[in-house]
Structure 1
Amino acid sequence: MIEIEVLRFDREKDKEPYFKKYKIEKKYKMKILDALIAINENYNDNLSFRSSCRAGQCGSCALKMNGEVVLACKSEIKDKSKIEPLDFPVIKDLIVDKTKIEEKVANMELFLETDDKDKNNENNESNEYNKDNNYIENNEINDNEVNENEINESNENKEIDENKNKEFKDLKKSSETNNIKLDGCGCPSIIENEECMDTKKVRSCIECYSCLSVCPVIKETKEFAGPYFMRYISKFDFDPRDIGERTKESIDEGLYYCTSCGKCGEICPKEINSFGDAIEKLRAIANMKDLGPLEAHKEVKELISKTGRSVEELDESFIKTVSKEQNKTEKEKASPNSENENKSKKGKIAVFTGCMIDYRLQNVGFALIDVLKKNGIEVDVPEDQICCGSPMLRTGQTEIVENLVLKNKDALSDYDTIITMCAGCGATLKNDYPKYGVNLNVMDISEFLAKNLDTEQMKDLNLKVTYHDPCHLNRGQGIKEEPREILNKIKGVEFIEMEKPDQCCGAGGGVRAAKPEIAFGLGKKKAEMVEELDVDAVISICPFCQYNIQDALNKEGLDNIKVMNILELLKMSYDDK
């Protein structure tokens, strides 16, 4: 027997939703849908839920189990599970109201648009087809002039014509499904695979609308239609047969409001990456057409083009300072440009600083050097490294990215391991650089230290901390447990999980720069989660998250709570031992 809780609510009679417990016998690999059916069979409780295909193809049974969106027909039920509806208005129990979404889809009136010549040819050919097969248009028939044989012959012809017409329609439907292009006369012509790869990636949607239910930006503003609609527009925009103007529509629907958090892709049952495969490419198209990006994004591009960094240098850069110190003291380590290798047993290691740590959060860089020294690890900080290109990729300004990639390749390719301290940089080096033919052995600092951390030299800190999962670390790199392992190893640190540690803080995707009100709104929600915990500090591994959450805490009057990189906390644990 297993016990599960289901959130019950009937908007016709209940004031508030409530959880109700049920005990059922669990069968082998029992799905959530089977459990819901068993509840109704055993309890006669009139529990309401949607289901149809039972094969993960209709999307109707999407719901939440233990806070995560799943398909009820595909996910196995677990003991002590909590089952809830998607985050839409509830009609009854697990049935949600999708009317507004469906109305928006209908009102957008998107369809495949071909050029006028093809449309005219298709219409003419259709008329010829009708004429050849005895279709009579705009003509009246005198019933008295038709004898019985003509009637029988007409019925036979009608049946033949209906079959042919059905075949013609089936051909069209099949052509759209299999990416076969129809020319003006309705005849199929083959589209090469490379022509349709982009649209194929976004065409497998089953319209469960789960992505809309988890999108943090939708809950913050009505200006963003959401990932489903960005994918919906891109399906047509990326189709080589389509000539419709989609870019302006995508901008009108909030193209630049997405924070690139990746939550939509994480929960999609068809594994559609709505940001990477739809929004990011739509932004690149907008850039090519001079319809985007936003002004703040253009300023970042100008800065990178001039200085190699996405932010202005306020104090002496971390790399410059390290280079000076290394040149002064041969005992510690040779210059980053020296041919001498570092003596780490882990191989030749380089630090990729990223723009923020080099120009704004130099203390995080120095904390890294100190922590690694305490653990007997030596590293180089190559002087020739520049911006990883993430701000350009996320905002569609891809024309300068290859140059950035190649310069960083020259700076980093001689090293066995590249350590990053920024979630966005790490995700870019791991996920985007291979697309440019550059493959580096990249490790986030939490990955590296989780395996190489010396705890003997640590002192007790007597601190309570919580942890924020950066989107580009958790979902972008699949790194979630390693930072927690480190926090649990630091002496005198009480680690407390917040309610939704992986909920986006609003800093990514160019949103903090161009839509600061959205970044602040999402940051405020994160600050409210932190406030409930009575902690001393919030720990993260992303400079943008660090800034955004600290700003939100300050604005909420919680400036006594500090947001720190995990390296700063580690340095505190090693200091003055």
Structure 2
Amino acid sequence: MIKVYVSRFDREVDSEPHLECYEIEQTPQMKVLDAINAINEKYDADISIRSSCRAGQCGSCGILFNGNGALACQKDIKDGAIIEPQNFPVIKDLIVDKSQIEQEVKDLQLSLNPQRHDDDLNENLTPENIKNTKKVRSCIECYSCFATCPVIKFIKTKFGGPYIMRYLSKFESDPRDEFDRLDESLKEGLYKCTSCGKCKAVCPKDINTFGDAIERLREIACKEGKGPLPEHVAFKENIEKTGRSIKAEGPSFIEEVKNDNGSKIALFTGCMVDNKLHHIGEALIDVLEANGITIDIPEGQVCCGSPLIRTGQTDMVQELVDKNNEVFRDYDTVLTICAGCGSTLKNDHPKYGSNLNVMDISEFLVDKLDTDKMKELNTTVTWHDPCHLGRGQGIKGQPRDILEQIPGVTFKEMKYPCQCCGAGGGIKAGHPEIAMTLAKEKAKMIEDTGAESVITICPFCQYNIQDGLDAIDREDIKAMNIIELLQLAYQKD
């Protein structure tokens, strides 16, 4: 028997939706839709849900499964699952009113004009046009991306979200379209996306809306002089001057440590550690030394290019990739202690011809830690999954395994550990109000765990989450890099 929690709402008797718990037998390969049908049959519950094809093609059975968009006919049911309607006005139970977004699509005229009869029109289509539209045209309009987007969910702002941006990108690439889709995307909030990648994660057709639609539109905006936001220009100016996206606060970490041990393992420091967070780099050296591991921290490395790629300023990314490839090409392994850097090196650099063997520090250390040398910390922690670590690199279990290995650490999972904190995509600089709202939402989850600190592996998340904690008057809860926690465990009394 499993328990399933289903949101119920009948506007004739309920003032707001509420969850009801049902117990059912779980059959092999049971999907959410099967579970709803089983509940209706067993309890005569009459739960309302839209469904049609049962094959993941029509998109009509979109729901929220434990807070994430999903198709009821495709999602495996789990014990304790919470089934809710998408983030639209609820008509009844799991059926929602999508008329508002459908009207927006109509107002934007997101379709080709059927009245145009230009015989030469199709001849204008190039292989590049077809390639760009193909990446984003398989949408089945289930609205899972829209229902899951953190900016749509928590921010009261003008933002079309991944669903609208996908549409606009599709038609921007189509020469048969007669509208200025780039200008429309800017009006719809092109630079309000956090690059969290949640839309791709929940898409049943695996559409990479951020990478293939939003990043592409941002790149076009920059080429046409309509982007980026003024606050993003500083990233590029700093990189052009120093090779780093943020200004140094004195000598860089690399200059201070001058670490060249002849090791075949090297550290890619990232801009934050090199120019601002030296203590994290120092903590890493301490932890590695405690485990008998030596690394090189080579000079000449520069920004990974993530701030430029995310904001559309891609004209000098190849230069950065080439410089880093020259520095690291002879190493067997390149370690990162920043989720954004790691994701960029793994996912973006290969497009520019670089294929280094990159490992996040958690996947490198998880089976190498000498726990006998650790002392008990007697502390309670929770874990925040950086978007560019969990979704960007598929790394979720290793950091948790490390936390479980540290003596005296009690680990408490927060409600939605992979919910975006708002630090990415240029949001912290360009739309700080969005970053703060999402940071406070994350801070409330952290507070609810009773943890003394929240652990992560992203300097940008670390900063933004701490800002959120401070904003809700929980300065006593500290955001820490996992390396800092390990350093404490290895410190001698």
Question: Same fold, TM exceeding 0.5?
Answer: yes
- Secondary structure (helix, strand or coil) at the match of 1:83 reads strand
Matches within 5 A, 1:468-483: 468-483=384-399
Whether contact under 8 Å (2:305, 2:320) holds in the other structure is yes
2:228 pairs with 1:307: no
Whether contact under 8 Å (2:125, 2:174) holds in the other structure is no
Partner amino acid, structure 1, of 2:104: K
Counterparts of 2:278 and 2:145 in 1: how far apart (Å)?
37
Counterparts of 2:431 and 2:418 in 1: how far apart (Å)?
21
Where structure 2 has 5 or more consecutive residues not aligned to the other structure, the ranges are none
- Secondary structure (helix, strand or coil) at the match of 1:37 reads helix
User: 156, 164, 171: which is aligned to 1:229?
Assistant: 164
- 1:113–1:410 Cα change, 3 Å: farther
Where structure 1 has 5 or more consecutive residues not aligned to the other structure, the ranges are 124-181, 327-335, 343-347
Counterparts of 2:148 and 2:26 in 1: how far apart (Å)?
29
User: 358, 361, 375: which is aligned to 1:445?
Assistant: 361
Stretches of 4+ aligned residues off by more than 6 angstroms = none
- 1:113–1:311 Cα change, 3 Å: farther
- 1:20–1:550 Cα change, 3 Å: closer
2:477 pairs with 1:576: no
Alignment deviations for residues 99-148 of structure 1 (CA, whole Å, 9 cap, x no partner): 2111111111133379xxx95xx37xxxxxxxxxxxxxxxxxxxxxxxxx
Partner of 1:13: 13
Whether contact under 8 Å (1:85, 1:93) holds in the other structure is yes
- Secondary structure (helix, strand or coil) at the match of 2:455 reads strand
Counterparts of 2:45 and 2:198 in 1: how far apart (Å)?
34
Matches within 5 A, 1:189-200: 189=123, 191=125, 193-200=127-134
Counterparts of 1:534 and 1:5 in 2: how far apart (Å)?
25
Counterparts of 1:558 and 1:22 in 2: how far apart (Å)?
37
- 1:104–1:442 Cα change, 3 Å: same
- Secondary structure (helix, strand or coil) at the match of 1:63 reads strand
Partner of 1:547: 463
Whether contact under 8 Å (1:540, 1:566) holds in the other structure is yes
RMSD of aligned alpha carbons: 1.9
- 1:428–1:366 Cα change, 3 Å: same
The Cα of 1:191 is off from its aligned counterpart by 4.9
Whether contact under 8 Å (1:54, 1:73) holds in the other structure is yes
Partner amino acid, structure 2, of 1:341: G
Whether contact under 8 Å (1:196, 1:240) holds in the other structure is no
Whether contact under 8 Å (2:67, 2:148) holds in the other structure is no
The Cα of 1:74 is off from its aligned counterpart by 1.7
Alignment deviations for residues 359-418 of structure 1 (CA, whole Å, 9 cap, x no partner): 110000000111001111100001100000000000000001000000000111010000
Partner of 2:137: 203
Counterparts of 2:41 and 2:403 in 1: how far apart (Å)?
47
Counterparts of 1:470 and 1:66 in 2: how far apart (Å)?
19
- Secondary structure (helix, strand or coil) at the match of 2:470 reads helix
The Cα of 1:457 is off from its aligned counterpart by 0.5
- 1:261–1:200 Cα change, 3 Å: same
Partner of 2:338: 422
Moved more, 377-386 or 461-470: 461-470
2:223 pairs with 1:288: yes
User: 446, 454, 465: which is aligned to 2:381?
Assistant: 465
The Cα of 1:502 is off from its aligned counterpart by 0.9
Counterparts of 1:443 and 1:461 in 2: how far apart (Å)?
27
Counterparts of 2:473 and 2:175 in 1: how far apart (Å)?
53
Counterparts of 2:41 and 2:475 in 1: how far apart (Å)?
54
Partner amino acid, structure 2, of 1:361: L
Counterparts of 2:78 and 2:442 in 1: how far apart (Å)?
29
Partner amino acid, structure 2, of 1:517: E
- Secondary structure (helix, strand or coil) at the match of 1:265 reads helix
Partner amino acid, structure 1, of 2:156: T
Counterparts of 2:455 and 2:22 in 1: how far apart (Å)?
39
Partner of 2:282: 366
Alignment deviations for residues 165-197 of structure 1 (CA, whole Å, 9 cap, x no partner): xxxxxxxxxxxxxxxxx625xxx6595544411
Counterparts of 1:108 and 1:390 in 2: how far apart (Å)?
31
Partner of 2:372: 456
Partner amino acid, structure 2, of 1:232: Y
Q: Percent identity?
A: 58
The Cα of 1:240 is off from its aligned counterpart by 4.2
Partner amino acid, structure 2, of 1:51: S
- 1:557–1:21 Cα change, 3 Å: closer
Counterparts of 1:73 and 1:244 in 2: how far apart (Å)?
36
- Secondary structure (helix, strand or coil) at the match of 1:279 reads helix
- 1:207–1:510 Cα change, 3 Å: same
Which protein has the larger Cα radius of gyration, Structure 1 or Structure 2? 1
User: 107, 120, 127: which is aligned to 1:183?
Assistant: 120
2:470 pairs with 1:563: no
Moved more, 243-252 or 297-306: 243-252
- Secondary structure (helix, strand or coil) at the match of 2:469 reads helix
Partner of 1:217: 151
Counterparts of 1:434 and 1:88 in 2: how far apart (Å)?
39
Q: Number of aligned pairs?
A: 492
TM-score scaled by length of structure 1 = 0.82
The Cα of 1:239 is off from its aligned counterpart by 2.0
The Cα of 1:18 is off from its aligned counterpart by 2.9
Counterparts of 1:455 and 1:25 in 2: how far apart (Å)?
42
The Cα of 1:557 is off from its aligned counterpart by 1.9
Whether contact under 8 Å (1:535, 1:561) holds in the other structure is yes
The Cα of 1:497 is off from its aligned counterpart by 1.2
Partner of 2:311: 395
Moved more, 421-430 or 232-241: 232-241
- Secondary structure (helix, strand or coil) at the match of 2:359 reads strand
